Amino acid sequence: MIYSRALNEALHRALGEDARVVVLGEDISDPYGGAFKVSRGLTTAFPDRVKTTPVSEQAIAGISAGLALGGYRPIAEVMFGDFLSLCFDQLLNHITKYHAMYAGQVTCPVMFRAPMGGHRGYGPTHSQSIEKHFLGIPHLRVVAASPYHEPYDAFADFLAKDDPVLFVEHKLLYPKHITAPTDGRVGELLASHAGSEGVLPSVCLSLVPREECALTIVAYGYEALLAASVVEKLGMEDELFCELVVPAQIAPVDFAPIDASVSATRRLLTVEEGTAGWSWGDRVAASIQRSHFGRLAKPVEVLASQPTVIPGARRLEQEMLVGAHHIEQKIREALS
């Protein structure tokens, strides 16, 4: 099943099974069903608890906060992740504060769903992966959609816990088929789940067993899909073997699966589509270099997009955003 369809079914299921769930966002009413059609059918099936909103991101975020304080489980669709900047005050100064600043008297479990990412020619303000600006906000969990994780699991995790979540969905995943590990494989790749108790598990992918891999790659979202294709290609064609670790939760980082893999490979490359500098990979690199100090064969490499605006022209965008060719080049350098 393609990702957007699975996401849509997951929303139907969450609303159907849990009367606390409320969905709101811009242009989500039927028949349109949201800019990426992920919310299709929801206003028809649950008219009381699903509402299309005016173009008012601050209010969407603030009303979600109030719903959560009032005992509901709002899931807010932010039409383009870029627009999360307009929700930032609510996220930083309200939603993630309430539980702690009121000494645990209340919880404020809001989930934001945010379509991110480029490679589609949408230009500077509709293509970004701005999640790095939300990493490290105390009491916020950031979870990334991936082709190897069922989307409902992210909702179940949100509904089972009491903290706010930012769910980042790369737009290019919407038309892709979900290939969660089955029987220890994803296509040609060996696949396993790994992670700490209580955290959404990471998926580990490799062509050969970990002990034969010379490099760990950690990537999330659409970049994980690109990285997996490169891992398979380089293994098949050049016998360059890597293990790819794909987390679902990207903040706080569950280091256990990365640690385990790097312990075997002694090399790490991080890959993300967000811009370079103060990035997710920088944070992962700092921790791994500290915990594996003296045992790494090479410094950790961080691959991120160029720190500039995302051009509208496709030929320029392809150079600026991390693509498969950039990942391949970095892997070859790391293993040279």
Partner 1 sequence: MEAFQPDPRLFGRPADDLDARYYRRMRFIRRFEEKLLQLFEEGILAGTTHCSIGQEADAVAVMAHLEPGDHAFSNHRCHGHYLARTGDALGLYAEIMGKDAGVCRGIGGSQHICAPGFKSNGIQGGIVPTAAGIAWAQKLSKSNDVSVVFIGDGTLGEGAVYETLNIAQLWSLPLWIVLEDNGWSQSTPLAANFAGDMRMRFEAFGLPVSEIESTDVKAIDEVVAADVARVRETRTPHVTILHTYRLCNHSKSSDARPEEEVKARWATEPLVIHAPRLDGGAREAIDADVESALDEVIEHARALP
5-44 footprint of partner 1 as x/- string (CB under 8 A) = -----------------x----------------------
Q: Applying CB under 8 A, which part among 57-65, 124-132, 240-248, 323-331 lies near partner 1?
A: 57-65
Q: How far apart are CA 171 and CA 187, in angstroms?
A: 22
Q: How far apart are CA 244 and CA 74, in angstroms?
A: 33
221 contacts 273 by C-beta, under 8 angstroms: yes
Q: How far apart are CA 163 and CA 138, in angstroms?
A: 11
* Active-site annotation, residues: 126
269 contacts 298 by C-beta, under 8 angstroms: no
Nearer to partner 1, 46 or 222 (CB): 46
* Of the candidate residues 13, 37, 51, 139, the single one contacting partner 1 (CB under 8 A): 51
Residue 54 found at the interface with partner 1 (CB under 8 A): yes
User: In which region does residue 27 sit, left (phi positive, over 0), alpha (psi from -120 to 50) or beta (all else)?
Assistant: left
Q: Of residues 257-286, which lie at the interface with partner 1 (CB under 8 A)?
A: none
The helix (H) or strand (E) run that includes residue 328 is helix 324-334
Residue 160 found at the interface with partner 1 (CB under 8 A): no
- From the CB of 61, what's the least distance to partner 1, in Å? 7
User: Where would I find the H helices in 79-184?
Assistant: 88-89, 98-101, 151-160
Residue 94 found at the interface with partner 1 (CB under 8 A): yes
Residue 66 found at the interface with partner 1 (CB under 8 A): yes
Q: How many residues bind partner 1 (CB under 8 A)?
A: 34
Residue 123 found at the interface with partner 1 (CB under 8 A): no
Percent helix, strand, coil in the chain, to 5, is 40, 20, 40
Q: Of residues 99-118, which lie at the interface with partner 1 (CB under 8 A)?
A: 100-103, 105-106
Query: Could you list the residues that contact partner 1 (CB under 8 A)?
Result: 22, 48-49, 51, 53-54, 56, 58-59, 61-72, 74, 89-90, 93-94, 97-98, 100-103, 105-106
